[in-house]
Amino acid sequence: MSKPELLVQVVTDVICPWCFVGSRALWAFLESDDFKTQIAPHVNTVVKIEPYILDPRLPASTYDTPSKYYDAIETTPYEQRAPPTKKFYYGSKFGGNLDAFDAKISTAATALGMPTFDWTSSGRVGATWNAHRLVLKAGQLDEQRGSASGEDSGACVKSLQVRLMDRFYQDFHANSKDMSDNSYLAAVATEFGLFDSEAAASKWLESDDLEYELGNKLQQAEMNGVQSIPFYIINDGADHMSETGSHESFLRMMQMAVAQYVR
C-alpha cells in the first residue's frame, strides 16, 4: 500500500540570501536520522519550489520585465537593462550594517557547510523573472517524469527543479552570476537538460511560455499571505512556516503533518 504524500512547498527567490540558507537547512533536515525515522516511514515527502519577487524594482540585463509584476523603471533608482552591481545594491541596502549582516548569515551558512557569500563584486543583481520561468519549467518536467518522492528508500529525492534552484542559488550568491542574463540562463538550462541546445533555450526564454502560469503562482503566494521569504507551506496550506528554518522547526512542522498517519 502506497504512503500518502507530504507536499512541502518552498516559496523563494534566488536573490534572497536567507532562502539559500533555508534551502540548505531544509535538505540537511531531510537527510537527517530524525527525518528518516520519524517522518519518512509514514509519508512520501515531495519538495516543490514556488516563486516570489523579492525586489520588483530590479531591471533585467537582457529583457524587459513585465509591468504587471515589476515597478516602472522611472520609479526605481535604476536604468532599463542596467541592473545594479552587488557592491552598489548591498551597499545601498545595508550601508554600514553590511558587515554585521554578513557575520550573521555567515555563521548560519558555515554551520551548514555552505560557500562564502559574495556581497561586493561587480556581478549584477537583476530581475529573476526568467529564472523563475525556468524553475517552473523544471517542475513541469518533474511531473511528466513522475514523482520524486523516493518511495522505496524513504529518502526525499532532489528533483530536477530543486537541483536547478540550488545551482542558481550557488551561482548567484557565491559566484556572482547575473540571474537576468538570458545567455547564462540558457547555458544552465541546457546543461540541466531542459532543452536540447542553447539556441532552443534562448528561443524559449524570448517567448512568453509559462508567463501566465508564473503570474498565477505569484498571485497564489499573495493570497497565501506570503510577505517574507523563505516561506514553507505544508500540504497546500494545512500548515506553514515563515522563517529561515532550523532542524527543530522542520521536525516540529513535519511531526504535526504526519501525526494523523502514525499508528
Give the pLDDT confidence of 6-16 residue by residue, as tens digits.
Answer: 999 999 999 99
Going by DSSP bridges, is the β-strand pair 5-12/44-51 parallel, antiparallel, or unpaired?
parallel
Which amino acid would we find at residue 94? F
Please report the pLDDT score of residue 89 as a whole number.
Answer: 96
Q: Give residue 2's pLDDT band: very low, low, confident or very high (50, 70, 90).
A: confident
- The whole-number average pLDDT for the span 37-46 is 95
Task: Locate the domains of the chain by residue range.
Answer: 5-261
Contacts of 46 (CB under 8 A, 6+ apart): 5, 6, 7, 8, 147, 148, 149, 156, 159
Helices 86-94 + 98-111 axis angle, to 10: 110
Buried b (16+ CB within 10 A) or exposed e, 104-140: ebeebbeeeebeebebeeebbbbbbbbbbbbbbbbbe
Superfamily of domain 5-261: Glutaredoxin (3.40.30.10)
Cα separation, 124 vs 143, in Å, equals 32
- What pLDDT sits at residue 149? 47
Predicted confidence (pLDDT) at residue 251 exceeds the cutoff of 60: yes
pLDDT of 219 higher than 50:
yes
- pLDDT one-digit tens code per residue, 90-131: 999 998 899 999 999 999 999 999 999 999 999 999 999 999
Q: What is the pLDDT of residue 263?
A: 75
Q: How far apart are CA 218 and CA 53, in angstroms?
A: 8
Q: Which residues contact 238 (CB under 8 A, 6 or more apart)?
A: 257
Dig out the grid coordinates for 252 from the structure.
516540529
| pLDDT, greater one: 214 or 150 | 214
Average confidence score pLDDT of the chain: 94
Q: With cut-offs at 50, 70 and 90, classify the pLDDT of residue 147.
A: low
Query: Mean per-residue pLDDT for 197-220?
Result: 98
pLDDT digit string, tens, across residues 154-177: 678 999 999 999 999 999 999 999
